[in-house]
Amino acid sequence: MSLVLLGILNITEDSFSDGGRYLAPEAALARARFLAGDGADIIDLGAASSNPDSKAVPAETEIARMAPVVAALTAASIPVSVDTFSPEVQRWALGEGVDYLNDVQGFRSPELYEALAAAHSRLIVMHAVQEGACAERIKVDPAEIVDRVLGFFDRRIAALESAGIARDRLILDPGMGFFLGTVTEASFAVLRALPALKQAFSLPLLISVSRKSFLRKLTGRGGPLEAGAATLAAELFAAERGADYIRTHDPGALKDGLIVRQALEGPAR
Q: Known catalytic residues?
A: 212, 247
Kind of pairing between the strands at 80-83 and 4-10: unpaired
Q: From CA 60, how far away is CA 50, in angstroms rounded?
A: 17
Of 84, 10, 81, residue with least CA distance to 42: 81
Q: Please return the burial class of 170, using the count of CB atoms within 10 Å of its CB with bins 0-12, 13-18 and 19+.
A: buried
The helix or strand, by DSSP H or E, that contains position 67, with its residue range, turns out to be helix 59-75
Q: From CA 158, how far away is CA 165, in angstroms rounded?
A: 10
Q: What is the SS3 assignment for 139?
A: coil
Residue 100 is classified by DSSP as E
The helix or strand, by DSSP H or E, that contains position 206, with its residue range, turns out to be strand 206-207
Q: What is the SS3 assignment for 102?
A: strand
Q: From CA 240, how far away is CA 261, in angstroms rounded?
A: 10
Q: From CA 233, how far away is CA 238, in angstroms rounded?
A: 9
Of 225, 230, 224, 232, residue with least CA distance to 254: 232
Strand partners, 8: 44
